[in-house]
Amino acid sequence: MTTSTARQFCTFSLDGLLFGVDVATVQEVIRYQEMTEVPLAHRVVRGLINLRGQLVTALDLRRRLGLTERCENERPMNVVVRTEDGAVAFLVDAIGDVVTVEPDRWEPAPTTLAVSTRALIPGAYKLDDRLLLLLDVDTALDVGAIA
């Protein structure tokens, strides 16, 4: 196995689970930012952030993944990802390390997972101590697809 096929993931945690997105899609990771609420928007949209003059939409990944709500006093961190249509921030509980994983550790999501969830989490990498769930960024960004 060569290292050239290994992939690097930016990891973060949500409700006790470890998630990862390809580092290449991540623009930056920043701490909690003040944001402006967008009334009438989908509940996944938590607000708009001014990132050095750039307008960034903040999406709550807990809500996007249907996890439990974050405690009021817990301030989320932002994982800012690049998209075709500007930057979008994912609100997550905490930021983890950047990990390098060999492709042979990949396992697709079991069919027992709901189809809608499988689009979001196509599979996992088996790390030594836990599972790293891969987040499909494009699906996560598509708020309109949520029923």
Determine the 3-state secondary structure of 110 from DSSP.
coil
* Strands 54-60 and 77-83, bridge-based pairing: unpaired
Site size for other proteins, by CB under 8 A? 27
Three-class SS state of 4? helix
CB of 68 to other proteins, least distance (A): 22
51 Cβ contact list (under 8 Å, min separation 6): 30, 33, 80, 87, 89
Interaction pattern, residues 49-68, with other proteins; x per rule: CB under 8 A: xx--x-xxx-x---------
- Which positions from 119 to 138 touch other proteins by CB under 8 A, shown as an x/- string? --------------------
81 is a contact residue toward other proteins (CB under 8 A) = no
> Is the Cβ of residue 83 or residue 116 nearer to other proteins in the bound state?
83
d(CA 19, CA 14): 7
Query: Tokens representing 83?
Result: 């998209």
Taking the complex as a whole, the smallest distance from the CB of residue 126 to other proteins amounts, in Å, to 32
Q: Does 40 bind other proteins (CB under 8 A)?
A: yes
* Using rule CB under 8 A, residue 36 touches other proteins: yes
Report if residue 80 touches other proteins, rule: CB under 8 A: no
Tokens of 10: 């930016």
Q: What are phi and psi of 114, to 5 degrees?
A: -60, 150
Residues that bind other proteins (CB under 8 A): 34-42, 44-45, 47-50, 53, 55-57, 59, 83, 85-86, 88, 141, 143-144
